[in-house]
Chains A and B, each alone.
Chain A
Amino acid sequence: MRVPYGWMADYCDPGLLPRDLAERMAMTGTEVERVVTLGPPSAEGFVIGKVLDVVKHPDADRLNVCQVDTGDAGSADGGRTIVCGAPNVAAGQTVVVALPGAVMPGGMKIKQAKLRGVESNGMICSDRELELGEDHNGILVLEDGPAAGTPAAGVLPLAEPVLELEVTPNRTDCFGIYGVAREAHAISGAPLAPAPWDGGPIGPGVGSESGDLERLGDPAGAVKTADRARVLVRDEELCPRFTARGYAEVKVGPSPRWLRSRLIAAGMRPISNVVDITNYVMWLTGQPMHAYDLDLVPEGELVIRRAENGEKVAALDGNDYELTDRMVAVADRNGLAGIGGMMGGSVSEVSDSTTTVLMEAANWNGPNILRTSRDLGLRSEASSRFEKQLHPDLTLRAQAVAARLMVEVCGATPMTGIVDIAAPVPAAEPIWLRAGRVERILGLAIDTDRQARALEMLGFGVQRDGKDLLVSVPPDRHYDVTREIDLVEEVGRISDLDRNLPATLPSGPGRPGGLSRQQVLQRRAEDSLRESGFDEMVGWSFTDPNEKDRLRLDPEDPRAGAVRLANPLSEEQSLMRTTLLGSVLGAAQRNLSRGADRVALFESGRVYLPAAAFGPGPLGGDFPGNTRPPFNEPQHLCGLAVGSVDPSTWRGEASGADFFALKGVLEHLAGSLGTAVSVERIPGAPTQPFLHPGKSGVVRVDERPIGWIGEIHPLVAAEYDLDCAVAFEIALADLLQASPVGEEAYRDFTPFPPVDRDLAVLVAEEMPASSVLAAVRDSGGELLASVSVFDVYSGEGVGEGEKSLALRLRFRAPDRTLSDEEIEPIWSGIIAALEEIGGKLRG
């Protein structure tokens, strides 16, 4: 909302510098985005001039040498000499002169200068040069009146400060100049003039006995509006009020200068006096209007009804819109004449030949306008007001102001009476503001008198009842202020809260704050990957529908995409990711293409899956609240390495990360949580399509699968321009669930020494080491403390298709030193178990 300071000052001049007013408004609830100055930075040096004489420049066809009276010493003897290139300059004109020293918009300073040999002592300005309009066909010519030498700022809005307000959607009153003036009044205490519909001023060119309805209501002998216009409202829910007034003998033409200047300052384009009046009234009162050429409305009949699906309307912006039955339209006998609350139709547009006008001021259903605006992709100044729900009573205010302007500006004769079709509006009940309520909410006591005064200045009616206040709400605050708490806010915001409000701490939650166990362990898990040399990244939750192809996912795979956006910013961001792998691969690709020589990245983030199993805990997608979330959002951890994880140093080249390097990282992660993971290749289980089938496996904890690890499939790696990459992805909550951190129970350890024995066993090449270890463990009994692989060998001395695993077994008893005799039978059992799975003991 652009508020020209001078326009607001018609009603309340707070006596503050615009930027100080802006600051005060910001501190009372109305953000001022910026204060701009229209036209020249200062009005200094711009004066009214009278053109005394014009002669052709001796050396330039297009230039004139003018003598201009500027009422000062410089023009004492027959005028000031000014060279002017405008074609329309003529003797006798009243013009605006920029004297030497004046600064033009854009910063150019006017100087004495010779133009083709003739000294010029200033410049005669055009509308465009002063940023007062778009007309650049010639100089600005004023009506006679102001004397030569009068500061031009008294006549034209030069250097007009304009406040650009960011009005919050609840404050529909501040979408009108008068509402902003009332706000300035409440902030500054400066007097407030009566409203323009209530005897206050309307504009510089309009007589002060304003547009009050009583005066203009019934000119004797005039035609009645109701005789010329018939309005039917078929849907009172969508159109709670429709008012219309006819005008005859309308002279359509350009608006007077003051009106055009104000519209331009407000950011609107002047069109014609009738249209300009609708815009001016909207800007002043907050209530949009629309003007029909009544002669182009067959039989003067307008019907407000729901549109039919597919019904089309040609709107004033030159576009055709196709409506649906959720939208409200204004129809004439032949078809649609407008989209209710949005935009009028071109069929009855006011033009130069219009003589009879019907002025509409209607009220529309806010939510419906909001939806229509979104569905049509059309937003107008009118719809942006209506969508916030205006009060139906504002319509008559607008009619009152418009009537005055139609008479004064267009020379129109108003028809008698206003057609007014109104659904009943429940009267606003007065609201009690009880003593102590303000202090209870704000934590700051404000005495009752100050509360009452604040509310009165904001336009509320206040009755005192002891320390309680009974407050009635004006129509333009009707939808915003409905409860006691809303009054508390009103009192608070203009009580200089920023300065007066103490900063205290609440008495406290009554229990210590803290992170949940899951949150503590999540940090530990992330820290572990950081310790392992991985940089954490944050990828987009959005993904591209083609990612599933790049990852070779089957279209039937649930990971091909569960959450699809209805209105994505682009097709590339239209799905929610189901795996972190795509994000991590993408980041690796970007880093390598930018010259990185290796990549080790991890992400801790959510994936978005169909709502199936939730949990455990919030990291598993099980969030508090009565209603389950629509989808499952477990937290995943994904790590990826390309090239070395450990750095190369001056002591040697680091080797590239392979499966085992990454498995070590994963084991470190599990170890930092006090647990362990295993990696298995489960026979028959489907492998991940994006992994190397021979160098990948399922990550398990306590036998439960929690994710995968492996070398990226060469075809997938190629999609991301990678040679070789290894990665893992696990469900974090599942891993954390296995962690005993903080719950470990102490077990006594034995002082008796262990007995270590090694063996080497030949097994089939495809036999997993984990099966061999399991066979040893199962047969080793309680005295077998541990078993580990310390060498794997195949080649010379080992048969084709076989490998040799060297194992170290450690035996220990809690209460004695073990003897060979005790170990012997266990040892035999272990050998037997190994033979049972096809193992042969080596030499």
Chain B
Amino acid sequence: MVERIEQIEAEAKAAIEAASSATDIEEARVRYLGRKAELTGILRGISDLPPEQRGPVGSTGNKVRKALEGLIEAKVDSIRHAELEKSLAGDRIDVTLPGSPARRVGHLHPITRTRRMIEDVMVGLGYQVMEGPEVEHDYYNFTALNHPEGHPARMLQDTFYVEDEQHVEQVLLRTHTSPMQVRAMEAAPPPLFMIVPGKTYRRDSDATHSPMFHQVEGLAVGEGITLADLKGTLLAMLREIFGPDREIRMRPHFFPFTEPSVEFDVSCFRCGGSGSLDDGSRCGLCKGIGWIELGGAGMVDPNVFGFVADSGYDPDSVTGFAFGFGVERIAMLRHGVGDLRLFFDNDMRMLEQFS
């Protein structure tokens, strides 16, 4: 009898193994485990067996029954999965079609992006970011920056004045972000490390001059600050903006509110400062010079400290440097924008090129 059970087991296993559909497996289940199945009959008739056979037959029969139940269950699962896979494989989409955007993607203006980048670099060097008024008193834009009344340097920056019957020529659109040097020093004693990004205005308009443009001013005042520190600071900033291999060049210049004054250039990032490209042609970016002019800087003139002496700025105990440069210029260089006026035209075909 035990042998018969083992025979049944072998047959059933083969049948289960061979089943390839839900129907096949159900047939196998009915045939080998159903009410009319032989194994079921054997187990049902155990009590009719001689006592010495009841034990072995019962235990073998139940073991086989359990094993077959497990096999059938596993087979059912496997057949279901296969059928699911089959139906999924037929349920196709074209994955190459564009996704449905959560929202349209907008873009920040290249001036904003450039300004933020500069801010982040300078914040990393320990600077605060400050804002100041664009419509400003003459005092802050000129007088306190050591441009006395009638100083020819006032002519260097063609100024927009505000119509104001009470104060003729006393209110103007700031021609640089430098007025905030004085405001910031009035507001806080040294040490002071700050930058001022913002709009500035000059009465000038062509492809390279816009009557409105953006500058970033920098000011560092404390004990023992030198022109060499200015050079190091500008170099660190320019390398963040234009790449780690950049060099800086400072050319003596004149600004009324710094002494000594310099203009600073960065080595050309297209030709590496050589002035010529790999094919031997002249570099168009730096015009073959190897350097790109960026801005003005210098050591804060003691006369400027004189205007903020009450806030603790004594030229015998502190020195400082200041610098300024154009945001558009950096953006034009970094992104290859050829015409300054494009920044204020706001054509979306331009704006959407900058993410």
**Which residue in B98, B100, B128, B254 is a CB contact (below 8 Å) of A168?**
B254
B108 & A526 in contact (Cβ 8 Å cutoff): yes
Say whether A802 faces chain B, with CB atoms less than 8 Å apart.
no
> Out of A443, A510, A539, which one reaches B227, CB within 8 Å?
A443
The answer to whether residues A367 and B151 also contact, given A513-B124, A534-B106, A538-B109 and a CB cut-off of 8 A, is yes
Q: Is B228 a contact of A370 with CB atoms below 8 Å? A: no
In the complex, A107 has a CB within 8 A of chain B: no
Among B1-9, B53-61, B76-84, B191-199, which stretch is in contact with chain A? Answer: B191-199
B231 in contact (CB, < 8 A)? yes
Which B residues, 78 to 136, have Cβ-Cβ distances below 8 Å to chain A?
Answer: 97-98, 100-101, 103-109, 111-112, 116, 119, 122-136
In this assembly, does A453 line the interface, its C-beta being within 8 Å of a C-beta of chain B? no
Question: A34 CB to closest chain B CB, in angstroms?
Answer: 11
Cβ-neighbour of A630 out of B112, B171, B223 (below 8 A): B171
When the two chains form their complex, are residues B229 and A504 in contact, meaning their CB atoms are under 8 A apart?
A: yes
A631 and B170 alpha carbons, distance in the complex (Å): 13
Contacts of B191 in A (CB 8 A): 509-510
Q: Are A497 and B250 closer than 8 Å at their CB atoms?
A: yes
User: Which one of B25-33, B277-285, B342-350 is at the A interface?
Assistant: B342-350
Contacting pair B135 A646 (CB below 8 A): no
Against B, the Cβ 8 Å flags (1 = close, 0 = not) of A21-43 are 00000111101000000000000
Chain B: which residue is nearest A512 at the CB level? B126
User: B135–A505 contact, CB under 8 A?
Assistant: no
CB–CB B162/A564 < 8 A: yes
B134 touches A633 (CB 8 A): yes
**In the bound complex, do residue A169 and residue B155 qualify as a contact, i.e. CB atoms below 8 Å apart?**
yes
Asked if B301 is at the interface of the complex by the 8 Å CB criterion, the answer is: yes
Stretch in A65-73, A484-492, A816-824 with 4+ CB within 8 Å of B: A484-492
Which of the residues A488, A506, A565 comes within 8 Å of B233, measured between beta carbons?
Answer: A506
Q: Which residues of B contact A515 (CB under 8 A)?
A: 119, 123, 129
Chain A: interface secondary structure?
loop
Of residues 459 through 500 on chain A, the ones whose CB sits less than 8 Å from some CB of chain B are 483, 485-486, 488-489, 492-493, 497-498
Do A489 and B259 form a contact, CB below 8 Å, given A505-B236, A576-B135, A590-B346?
yes
Also in contact, A503 and B231, with CB within 8 A (given A488-B260, A565-B173): yes
Most chain A CB atoms below 10 A, which of B100, B108, B129, B187: B108
Q: Which residues of A contact B180 (CB under 8 A)?
A: 623
- Among residues of B, the one whose C-beta sits closest to the C-beta of A533 is B104
Closest to A530 in B: B106
Contact, CB under 8 Å: A537 / B109: yes
Instruction: Say yes or no: is B163 at the interface (Cβ < 8 Å to chain A).
Output: yes
A630 and B128 contact, CB distance less than 8 A: no
Do the beta carbons of A536 and B259 come within 8 Å of each other?
Answer: no
Q: Which residue of B lies closest to A625 (CB)?
A: B183
A573 to chain B, nearest CB (A): 7
Which chain A residues border B127 with CB–CB below 8 Å?
509, 513
Tell me which residues across on chain A come within 8 A of B244, comparing CB atoms.
Answer: none
Inter-chain contact A366/B152, CB cutoff 8 Å = yes
B133 near A629 (CB under 8 angstroms)? yes
Give B104 Cβ to nearest chain A Cβ, in Å. Answer: 3
Nearest Cβ distance between residue A440 and chain B, in whole angstroms? 7
Q: How far apart sit A626 and B137, CA to CA, in the bound complex (Å)? A: 12
Tell me whether A514 is interfacial, beta carbon within 8 Å.
Answer: yes
CB pair B252–A587 under 8 Å, yes or no, is: no
Residue contact A513 to B346, C-beta cutoff 8 Å = no
C-alpha spacing A519/B115, complex, angstroms:
12
A519 / chain B contacts, CB cutoff of 8 Å: 119, 129
Given contacts A538-B344, A587-B346, contact A501 B228 (CB under 8 A): yes
A387 close to chain B: CB less than 8 A: yes
Q: Which residues of A contact B104 (CB under 8 A)?
A: 533, 600, 645-647
Q: Are B205 and A569 in touch, CB under 8 angstroms?
A: yes
Q: Which residues of A contact B129 (CB under 8 A)?
A: 515-516, 519
B320 to chain A, nearest CB (A): 9
Those of B140-164 within 8 Å (CB) of chain A: 140, 149-156, 160-164
| A555 at the B interface (CB under 8 A) | no
| Chain B 223-251 per-residue mask, 1 if CB under 8 angstroms from chain A, else 0 | 11111110111011000000000001111
Is the C-beta of A319 less than 8 angstroms from some C-beta in chain B? Answer: no
Bound Cα distance A392, B328 (Å): 44
> Nearest-CB distance from A601 to chain B (Å)?
7
Give complex CA distance A508, B98 in Å: 51
Interface pair B130/A536, CB less than 8 Å apart = no
Whether the Cβ atoms of B254 and A590 lie closer than 8 Å is: no
Residue contact B352 to A493, C-beta cutoff 8 Å: no
Determine if B211 and A493 form an interchain contact, defined as CB atoms under 8 angstroms apart. Answer: no
List chain A residues, Cβ under 8 A from B229. 443, 504-506
- Total contacts A to B, CB within 8 angstroms? 299
Q: Does A771 contact B (CB under 8 A)?
A: no
Q: Determine whether the beta carbon of A538 is less than 8 Å from that of B343.
A: yes
State the Cβ distance, A516 to closest chain B Cβ, in Å.
7
Contacts of A627 in B (CB 8 A): 137, 139-140
CB-CB nearest in chain B for A172: B152
Q: Judge if A404 is at the interface, Cβ distance under 8 Å.
A: no
Interface residue B186 (Cβ < 8 Å from any Cβ of A): yes
Q: Which residue of A lies closest to B183 (CB)?
A: A625
Question: Within residues 555 to 569 of chain A, which ones have a CB less than 8 A from any CB in chain B?
Answer: 563-569
Minimum C-beta distance from B275 to chain A (A): 12
Q: Is A368's CB within 8 Å of the partner chain B?
A: yes
A615-650 contact mask (Cβ, 8 Å, vs B): 1 or 0: 000110101111101110100000000000111011
Contact A28 B133 (CB under 8 A): no
| B319: Cβ under 8 A from any A Cβ | yes
Task: Point out which of B109, B203, B222 has the most chain A C-beta atoms below 10 A from its C-beta.
Answer: B109
With contacts A519-B129, A536-B109, A567-B203 taken as known, whether A27 is within 8 angstroms of B252 at the C-beta atoms is: yes
A residues 214-239 near B (Cβ < 8 Å) are none
B220 contacts the other chain (CB 8 A): yes
Q: Do the beta carbons of A530 and B107 come within 8 Å of each other? A: yes
Question: Cβ of B227: which chain A residues have Cβ within 8 Å of it?
Answer: 441-444, 492, 497, 501
**Which residues of chain B from 238 to 296 have any CB-CB distance to chain A below 8 Å in the complex?**
248-254, 259-261, 263
* A630 near B124: Cβ-Cβ < 8 Å: no
B100 to chain A, nearest CB (A): 6
Residues of A contacting B103 in the complex (Cβ-Cβ under 8 angstroms):
531-533, 645-646
Q: A370-B152, A503-B235 known; A509 and B131 CB under 8 Å? A: no
Q: Does A197 make an interface contact (CB < 8 A)?
A: no
Residue of A nearest to B224 (CB): A507
A170 at the B interface (CB under 8 A): yes
Q: Which B residues are CB-close (under 8 A) to A633? A: 133-135
A531 to B104, CA, bound (A): 8
Q: Are the C-beta atoms of B123 and A629 separated by less than 8 Å?
A: no
| A591 in contact (CB, < 8 A) | yes
Would you call B253 and A537 a contact (CB within 8 A)? no
Contact present for A492 and B252 (CB under 8 Å):
yes
State whether B162 touches A566 (Cβ < 8 A).
yes
Q: Which of B136, B151, B228 sits near A442, CB closer than 8 Å? A: B228
Q: Is the CB of A440 within 8 A of B319?
A: yes
Q: Is B323 an interface residue (CB 8 A)?
A: no
Q: Assess whether B182 is interfacial by the CB under 8 Å rule.
A: yes
Residues of A within 8 A of B105 (CB): 530, 533
Set B192, B205, B299: member contacting A509, Cβ < 8 A: B192
- B40 → A minimal CB distance (Å): 49
| A305 interfacial by beta-carbon distance below 8 Å | no
Measured between beta carbons, the chain A residues less than 8 angstroms from B231 are: 501-504
- List 20 contacting pairs A-B, 8 Å CB cutoff, sorted by A: A368-B150, A441-B227, A443-B227, A489-B260, A504-B228, A513-B123, A514-B128, A515-B119, A516-B128, A529-B106, A533-B105, A542-B211, A569-B205, A596-B348, A618-B130, A623-B131, A626-B186, A629-B135, A646-B103, A646-B104
Which residues does A use to contact B, with CB under 8 Å? Answer: 26-29, 31, 168-171, 366-368, 370-371, 374, 387-389, 440-444, 483, 485-486, 488-489, 492-493, 497-498, 501-516, 519, 523, 526-527, 529-542, 563-569, 573, 576, 587, 590-591, 594, 596, 599-602, 604, 606, 608, 618-619, 621, 623-627, 629-631, 633, 645-647, 649-651
Kindly list the 5 A-B residue pairs having the minimum CB-CB distance in the complex, ordered from nearest: A367-B150, A443-B226, A443-B228, A625-B183, A533-B104
